[in-house]
Amino acid sequence: MIIFTVDSFKEVFHIHTSMKNNQFSTQYFNDGHKLHKLKRVSVKKNVFDVSGMYHEVITGCTFEFYSRSDIKVKIVEGEFHVEDLELTQQPATDYGVCASASEFCF
């Protein structure tokens, strides 16, 4: 299990793009209030034709979560900039777990 924040988008992006079989099946984004389980990372690419050869440039990515939320990130010269942050704030539901343990349910 991996828990990441905005500061570690770059590392999570490299995990998803460099590995064919993602061995880290449980990854969570910590927004400061709740953990959001990562569904996939969609990569945005621009393709250019340069003297008859195709050149691919990664311009951004979208982190998609199971909570139907997503975070759009723009990549400029290797730096990750959050472009759009759409996280749904769903209330935590207590399913009869004692109060001291319910804060760890997600």
Query: Quick one: pLDDT at residue 14?
Result: 86
- Are 38 and 12 in contact, with CB atoms under 8 Å apart? yes
Query: Among all chains, which residue has been given the structure tokens 């209330």?
Result: 91
**Domain coordinates in residue numbering, the chain:** 2-102
Q: Which parts of the chain sit beneath pLDDT 70?
A: 20-25, 86-106
pLDDT at 26: 81
pLDDT for 16 equals: 81
* pLDDT, position 94: 47
